[in-house]
């Protein structure tokens, strides 16, 4: 591969890393939004108790989405690590609303 091919590869790699970073950032924003929604759902269950079954199913769905986002971020970080760039591993905690729910 000539010098121009190497430069193109470096540009492509940099672009890929930028896209991975953007994907991680968007996933984290989505996760934060879902955490807030989950906390509101738990609060609604605790405060008035109406539609508990529907709210319970909504909580399960939101928690499942949070786990999918966690795996997405981990996969993106793994991909970035394999590209030869150091990544600080952020361990994502359990959904914040889960501690608020008292059955």
Buried b (16+ CB within 10 A) or exposed e, 21-59: eebbeebeebbeebbebbbebbebbeeeeeeeeebeebb
**pLDDT over threshold 80, residue 96:** no
Residue 8: φ, ψ to 5°: -65, -40
Residue-level pLDDT at 2: 54
pLDDT, tens digit, 9 for 90 and up, residues 12-44? 778 888 888 888 888 888 888 888 888 888 887
**pLDDT over threshold 70, residue 9:** no
Residue 85 backbone class (left: φ over 0; alpha: ψ -120 to 50; beta: rest): beta
Confidence bin at 11 (pLDDT 50/70/90): confident
pLDDT, tens digit, 9 for 90 and up, residues 36-71? 888 888 887 778 766 777 777 888 888 888 888 888
């Amino acid at each position: 591969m000539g010098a121009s091919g190497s430069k193109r590869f470096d540009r492509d790699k940099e672009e890929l890393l930028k896209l991975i970073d953007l994907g991680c950032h968007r996933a984290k924003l989505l996760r934060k939004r879902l955490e807030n929604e989950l906390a509101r759902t738990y609060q609604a269950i605790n405060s008035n108790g109406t539609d508990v079954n529907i709210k319970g199913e909504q909580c399960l769905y939101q928690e499942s989405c949070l786990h999918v986002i966690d795996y997405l971020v981990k996969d993106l970080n793994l991909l970035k690590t394999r590209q030869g760039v150091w990544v600080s591993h952020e361990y994502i905690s359990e959904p914040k609303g889960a501690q608020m729910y008292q059955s």
